[in-house]
A and B are shown apart, each in its own frame.
Chain A
Amino acid sequence: MVMGSRKGEEMLHRSDRKESDSTTRWGIETVCVKCKATTAQVLAKQQESLCWDCFHASLGKTVRKAVRLRGLVQPGDKVLVAVSGGHASTVLLRLLNEMRNLNMVREERGQIAFQMGAVYVGEGLANGSSPEESRRAMEAVSALHQASAPDVPLHCVLLEDIFDAEDERLADMGMDKGGLLVNLLQAVEDVTGREDLIESLRNALMVRVAARLGYNKLARGDCATRVAVRTIASAAKGAGFALPASIQHFDGRAGKEGPAVICPVRDLPMKDLAMLCHHLGAAPVLPPRPPQRARRKASLNTLAEGFVAGLQSALPSTVPTIVRTALKLQAFPWNQPSTTLGRGKDQNGASPADPAPASLCSICCAPLSPTEITAMQGVGGNTHGGGGIQLMNAVQEKIEGAANTSTPVGSRVRSSTGLLLFMANTALDSVDQACPHNWTPVSTALIQ
């Protein structure tokens, strides 16, 4: 699922148009380099002139390869695809559907027998759009879904569903779910912090929906361009330690009970995905325009998006280079799929995933670095940020207290719901402090 600001998306698309024309540069028609029969119509990966059919097949092959080598989807899996109506998730749904063997009993070469569903998270309240607008966005997404994959069930949920209706404390607060969500988001003043919180909520919600409906995989449409943007943004948030966790093909952070998150289109640039979308006639559903006031303030995420898009239009190797750099960072044990399929076996060896993750942030689920843990325990800081650390401790104690009163911390999604309930309840602006990548006072203390 792709979250992007309108400006960033527009910039990404502008560079698409410019370069997709270049197959017919100087008025000379080129022949597709793959089939050598038809006229090339599209420039894949900025270098290969291909016809539409070969282009489609080539993207499919990349995804197939990722799925097979890393064992992302196995026979008998139930895969929930996160769709947003954007380019990446639309293509992801199509390509996964193409490699699906509908006959669960008889094996077919190159196809995998698995079940599929799709989930859409409506974020009208978070974007500040009117109920009418959010209803229309949801209708557009379901229309797009009907057109591209009518046989796949689509589950629509709302972001405010993150507040569990069955939680008895919800009733005590005398507030509906929507009110709680707005309350929570308003408590976070920092624009970047709010965007990241929305993303964390969305991810947590999708994981929960997948678990409830019995899916064991959650497929997200994170593409190469998105990975590059996330790399730059994470670096600027001080999340260098956690970065490799979120850019791998496989993410088994949720442990044995929760669904594993897979990103099969990670190696494809946004431009190629957008061009395939265009070819398939699947127009993207752009997120509703945020209100004027919110749009004026930039966040680290939108800045990183603009930075990557600007460089990419001048230097086409930007995105691949950033992705290559980021992938050289060491991933975490739970980024290793437990079992592999077919030819992938020799690659991954017999190293099953060890689902014993280190400490994860209770809000964004990012792994915490040793310095962050030390700062949280209040041992390491010796200087001017002391106040921040104390505040941090207070928050942490309250969080633990809140978590202890509810269900045992066995299910992580559950406990973070408790935390969110708590914070929305007290209107504490502690999300900034509680998440190491968006908390304000402690960061300077960490390094000094």
Chain B
Amino acid sequence: MVKICCACGKEKAALKRPKTSEQICKTCFYAALEEEVHETITKHKLFSPRERVAVAASGGKDSTVLAHILTTLNERYKYGLDLFLLSIDEGITGYRDDSLETVKRNEQQYGIPLKILSYKELYGWTMDEIVRAIGHRNNCTFCGVFRRQALDRGAALMKADKMATGHNADDIAETVLLNILRGDVPRLGRCANIITGEDSAQPRVKPFKYTYEKEIVMYAFFKKLDYFSTECIYAPYAARGAAREFVKDLELVRPRAICDLIRSAEEFRLDTREGQSMPVAGKCQRCGYISSQDVCKACVLLEGLNKGLPNLGVSRTRGPKGGKAGLPASVDIST
């Protein structure tokens, strides 16, 4: 028996929506997914007209679909946004060089400008050089810290008002779990926020907060979007494994468990009376970018690299007299 799309009632159903288990045709699926993202954007007021928005693009499925949907919705609903793609070149041979080619093609396909910043020009190191220096342990710490700051710097350089990232519902559900496992209560309260860093120059927004990873993949697949699907060559050493697998198991048993994890994080009764949980945003004394400490994490890690002390800022021990991890309190900041 041929299943008929449950949304339009005419076309043959092409797929079963992972989020709702509805049998649906391709056209209705695209419409439903785009409509949900539009609703998320309008309901949470992610953008306001005439804003300049950086779309953090890696060339992977999430960011490619994000760029596609944002350009589509921008036209359809007249958001009046000035969109551009922002990519970071970590310098990983066999991974980032290929994915950057994809982003460059996306620039043509969606007709929005692209800016590429590299670790090499910002920090003087490529990821390949870093891994050669420190090995596979903790290399994702470096990459993550550097990329976060590199995106901020890129957005500031391009005078963006906001930055949109392709974090999907699965990613956020994983983060919620990881924060529970880690006992990080302040982050547990924040990790499900759809807008982060509201007080900073470029708040980050997540239009895909309620969009399932599987649906993003399906959207990219059926629309034949040009994306790069190889995993990072250093990814097997990443730490998210257990939580990621668990989220996928949950989804298999009950698809809405992902949404429910996010809802749980939003509704946790956290003790908000104590103000100690929120770090105060300040400026790094070395590079001048936003930091909660005197010296930002990127600068600490960079100093470790340059001095040949790769554990600086990575190991957990606090320095003497409350100094930053691995960094003596008496270090001369001016150098």
**A residues apposed to B, CB below 8 Å:** 190-192, 231-232, 234-241, 243-244, 297-300, 303, 307, 310-311, 318, 321-322, 324-326, 328-330, 369, 371, 383-384, 437, 440, 443-444, 446-448
Residues in B with CB closer than 8 Å to A328 are 185, 270-271
CB distance from B45 to the nearest CB of A (A): 15
Residue of A238, A297, A383 near B263 (CB, 8 A) is A238
User: With the chains together, A215 CA to B78 CA distance in Å?
Assistant: 66
Residues in B with CB closer than 8 Å to A234 are 264
A192 and B253 contact, CB distance less than 8 A: yes
User: With the chains together, A290 CA to B180 CA distance in Å?
Assistant: 31
A325 and B185 contact, CB distance less than 8 A: yes
Interface string of B89-122 (1 = CB under 8 A from A): 0000000000000000000000000000000000
Residues in A with CB closer than 8 Å to B253 are 191-192, 297-300, 303
Q: A325-B188, A444-B20 are in contact. Are A244 and B257 (CB under 8 A)?
A: no
Interface string of B255-273 (1 = CB under 8 A from A): 0110111111111111100
Stretch of B128-136, B218-226, B242-250, B309-317 with 4 or more beta carbons under 8 angstroms from chain A: B242-250
Kindly list the 4 A-B residue pairs having the minimum CB-CB distance in the complex, ordered from nearest.
Answer: A240-B264, A238-B260, A241-B267, A330-B269
Decide if the interface of chain B is mainly helix, strand, loop or mixed.
Answer: helix
Q: A329-B269, A329-B270 are in contact. Are A311 and B181 (CB under 8 A)?
A: yes
CB distance from A297 to the nearest CB of B (A): 8
B177 and A235 contact, CB distance less than 8 A: yes
B266 and A240 contact, CB distance less than 8 A: yes
CB distance from B188 to the nearest CB of A (A): 7
B40 and A448 contact, CB distance less than 8 A: yes
B39 and A448 contact, CB distance less than 8 A: yes
Count B-side interface residues using an 8 Å CB cutoff: 38
CB distance from B174 to the nearest CB of A (A): 12
User: With the chains together, A352 CA to B162 CA distance in Å?
Assistant: 49
Residue of A243, A303, A311, A447 near B262 (CB, 8 A) is A447
User: With the chains together, A444 CA to B209 CA distance in Å?
Assistant: 12
User: With the chains together, A249 CA to B261 CA distance in Å?
Assistant: 25
CB distance from B119 to the nearest CB of A (A): 32
Residues in B with CB closer than 8 Å to A311 are 181, 242
Residues in B with CB closer than 8 Å to A297 are 253
Taking A325-B180, A444-B20 as known contacts, 19 extra A-B pairs with beta carbons closer than 8 A to each other, sorted by chain A number, are A236-B257, A243-B264, A243-B268, A300-B253, A300-B257, A307-B249, A310-B242, A328-B271, A330-B269, A371-B267, A384-B36, A437-B260, A444-B256, A444-B259, A447-B210, A447-B259, A447-B262, A447-B263, A447-B266
Residues in B with CB closer than 8 Å to A303 are 246, 249-250, 253
User: With the chains together, A241 CA to B242 CA distance in Å?
Assistant: 25
Within 8 Å of chain A (Cβ to Cβ): is B182? yes
User: With the chains together, A231 CA to B181 CA distance in Å?
Assistant: 10
CB nearest to B184 among chain A residues: A325
CB nearest to A324 among chain B residues: B183
CB distance from A157 to the nearest CB of B (A): 31
CB nearest to B40 among chain A residues: A448
Within 8 Å of chain A (Cβ to Cβ): is B176? yes
A192 and B264 contact, CB distance less than 8 A: no
Number of A-B residue pairs with CB-CB distance less than 8 Å in the complex they form: 116
Residue of B179, B210, B260 near A237 (CB, 8 A) is B260
B268 and A237 contact, CB distance less than 8 A: no
Within 8 Å of chain A (Cβ to Cβ): is B19? yes
CB nearest to B179 among chain A residues: A325
User: With the chains together, A244 CA to B19 CA distance in Å?
Assistant: 28
Residues in B with CB closer than 8 Å to A243 are 264, 268
A300 and B181 contact, CB distance less than 8 A: no
Can you name 8 A-B residue pairings with CB atoms under 8 Å?
Answer: A231-B180, A235-B180, A236-B264, A243-B264, A244-B269, A300-B250, A307-B242, A440-B256
User: With the chains together, A311 CA to B264 CA distance in Å?
Assistant: 21
A383 and B256 contact, CB distance less than 8 A: no
Residue of B40, B180, B242, B259 near A443 (CB, 8 A) is B259
Residues in B with CB closer than 8 Å to A307 are 242, 246, 249
User: With the chains together, A137 CA to B207 CA distance in Å?
Assistant: 53
Residues in B with CB closer than 8 Å to A239 are 260, 264
B188 and A237 contact, CB distance less than 8 A: no
Residues in A with CB closer than 8 Å to B263 are 238, 240, 371, 443, 446-447
* Most chain B CB neighbours (cut-off 10 Å) among A192, A299, A307: A307
User: With the chains together, A324 CA to B184 CA distance in Å?
Assistant: 10
User: With the chains together, A369 CA to B267 CA distance in Å?
Assistant: 7
CB nearest to A317 among chain B residues: B183
Interface string of B211-255 (1 = CB under 8 A from A): 000000000000000000000000000000010001001100110
Residue of B43, B179, B250, B265 near A240 (CB, 8 A) is B265
Residues in B with CB closer than 8 Å to A240 are 263-268
A241 and B268 contact, CB distance less than 8 A: yes
Residues in A with CB closer than 8 Å to B39 are 383, 448
A330 and B271 contact, CB distance less than 8 A: yes
A192 and B183 contact, CB distance less than 8 A: no
User: With the chains together, A41 CA to B250 CA distance in Å?
Assistant: 39
CB nearest to A234 among chain B residues: B264
Residues in A with CB closer than 8 Å to B184 are 325
B181 and A322 contact, CB distance less than 8 A: yes
B254 and A321 contact, CB distance less than 8 A: no
B260 and A443 contact, CB distance less than 8 A: yes
CB nearest to A303 among chain B residues: B249
User: With the chains together, A437 CA to B256 CA distance in Å?
Assistant: 11
Residues in B with CB closer than 8 Å to A330 are 269-271
CB distance from B71 to the nearest CB of A (A): 23
User: With the chains together, A310 CA to B182 CA distance in Å?
Assistant: 16
Residue of B36, B183, B259 near A325 (CB, 8 A) is B183
CB distance from B146 to the nearest CB of A (A): 27
User: With the chains together, A114 CA to B260 CA distance in Å?
Assistant: 43
B177 and A232 contact, CB distance less than 8 A: yes
CB distance from B50 to the nearest CB of A (A): 27
User: With the chains together, A432 CA to B271 CA distance in Å?
Assistant: 31
* Most chain A CB neighbours (cut-off 10 Å) among B177, B185, B268: B268
Residues in B with CB closer than 8 Å to A192 are 253-254
CB nearest to A383 among chain B residues: B39
Residues in B with CB closer than 8 Å to A299 are 253
A321 and B271 contact, CB distance less than 8 A: no
A236 and B210 contact, CB distance less than 8 A: no
CB distance from A211 to the nearest CB of B (A): 29
